[in-house]
Chain A
């Protein structure tokens, strides 16, 4: 594998906030990454640094082996689709798609036309008259049809309905299969994109807390549920990521379980369940949230039981 992005000790401070804090990161070519984290965790700042749109306070960045800042050789190979892309006054979607080939050498106009039909994007309406979802569709179409070797999607689907999001995922997968490239998808809809990702990066408070293959991450935790006594007996001596109680019942999220350990848990009358990528990320990054009251704990317990 060849590294497309290499960042070492990358740090960015704004006044009294450290948005990106000593980040070491390697992004390999031809892989779909998920960049996950809470609002304000530093996702957008990190992407702005990697695409040369912000200056780093300290640390080094290499994209395609070079410094990306004001470097046309590097920037022509990057497509960065932002949540709040601004377009010139009086631009229509047609103007955007006509000018895109000037910036993206790999631009596929035919593919863009097909996407316009898929998303039912009106081409002649002025952009400021478009709905939030249609505005997002312009970004998604630009990001896909640019076929840039390094494509960033930063929350690309604000206002897109469920059908349109599914079209986005399907077209991304199809086109990625035919034209492999590096895609970094920053999103809060973790459960929706979980299966598309090959590698997961979780950023919290400016620092990277998870940087792992999606497949190994998925199996890295299990939930066990049963009587509090049985759960306590099973979790004794194990690391517990999260636990909740409701009267005499308990659930606990524990690390990876072997087949033998699963059998042992079932024999002890415990239900063993999976932990979704979303739950795992929530549990890794929810540290600063105040402890739930007992009423809250029981509701989330119910939810997990019925899930």
Chain B
């Protein structure tokens, strides 16, 4: 865990990443709060807060007495959420850094095209 954001937010993002990558398919069971806590060496209450964040967003749902599961349609919703954040989280810092180094817009576009074709 890094320090920059609350740990429970980071836990929620790690679960989101596993859903996006397909490691946690829809309708599969996610590890328990205590398992997350032990694995990441964090307080179980903090891990629970991260899981509950995703329950509130409808990404995970609880089956009474069994555990937490990935909701149907969760992946699609995460993709659209992450796409909305893509510009501010990735493109904007990229453009800022390019400007700092004197890389022109056209040169930046060329670089992206080159990476994309590679």
Q: Which residues of A approach B to under 8 Å, CB–CB?
A: 31-32, 169-170, 173-174, 176-178, 195-198, 214-215, 218-219, 266, 273-276
* A-B pairs under 8 A by CB, number: 51
B44 at the A interface (CB under 8 A): yes
Contact B6 A218 (CB under 8 A): yes
Q: How far is the CB of A180 from chain B (nearest CB, A)?
A: 8
Specify which chain B residues have a CB less than 8 angstroms from the CB of A276 in the assembled complex: 3
> B4, B7, B38, B96: which contacts A173 (Cβ < 8 A)?
B38
Contact B38 A196 (CB under 8 A): no
* CB-nearest residue of chain B to A176: B44
Chain B, interface size: which category? Answer: 20 to 34
B56 at the A interface (CB under 8 A): no
* CB-nearest residue of chain B to A222: B4
CA distance A275 to B3 in the complex (A): 7
B72 at the A interface (CB under 8 A): no
CA distance A229 to B42 in the complex (A): 39
Additional pairs, 15, CB under 8 Å, beyond known A195-B40, A274-B2:
A169-B41, A170-B41, A173-B38, A177-B37, A195-B46, A198-B43, A198-B46, A214-B43, A215-B7, A215-B8, A215-B49, A218-B7, A219-B6, A274-B3, A275-B3
Q: How far is the CB of B18 from chain A (nearest CB, A)?
A: 20
Specify which chain A residues have a CB less than 8 angstroms from the CB of B37 in the assembled complex: 173, 177
CA distance A274 to B2 in the complex (A): 9
Contact A32 B3 (CB under 8 A): no
CA distance A274 to B43 in the complex (A): 20
CA distance A165 to B8 in the complex (A): 24
* CB-nearest residue of chain B to A174: B38
Cβ contacts B9-21/A at 8 Å (1 or 0 each): 0000000000000
Contact A170 B43 (CB under 8 A): no
B45 at the A interface (CB under 8 A): yes
CA distance A274 to B10 in the complex (A): 14
A-B pairs, top 4 by smallest CB distance, nearest first, are A274-B3, A177-B34, A274-B4, A195-B42
Specify which chain A residues have a CB less than 8 angstroms from the CB of B4 in the assembled complex: 273-274
CA distance A176 to B42 in the complex (A): 12
Residues A195 and B43 in contact in the complex (CB < 8 Å), given A215-B7, A273-B4: yes
Specify which chain B residues have a CB less than 8 angstroms from the CB of A275 in the assembled complex: 3
Q: How far is the CB of B35 from chain A (nearest CB, A)?
A: 9
Contact B8 A196 (CB under 8 A): no
Specify which chain B residues have a CB less than 8 angstroms from the CB of A273 in the assembled complex: 4
Specify which chain A residues have a CB less than 8 angstroms from the CB of B44 in the assembled complex: 173, 176-177
Specify which chain A residues have a CB less than 8 angstroms from the CB of B94 in the assembled complex: none
Give 22 A-B contacts (CB < 8 Å), ordered by A residue: A31-B45, A173-B37, A173-B38, A173-B44, A174-B38, A177-B37, A178-B34, A195-B46, A197-B43, A198-B46, A214-B43, A214-B46, A215-B6, A215-B7, A215-B46, A218-B3, A218-B6, A218-B7, A266-B96, A273-B4, A274-B2, A276-B3
Specify which chain B residues have a CB less than 8 angstroms from the CB of A196 in the assembled complex: 41-43
Q: How far is the CB of B52 from chain A (nearest CB, A)?
A: 13
* CB-nearest residue of chain A to B2: A274
B1 at the A interface (CB under 8 A): yes
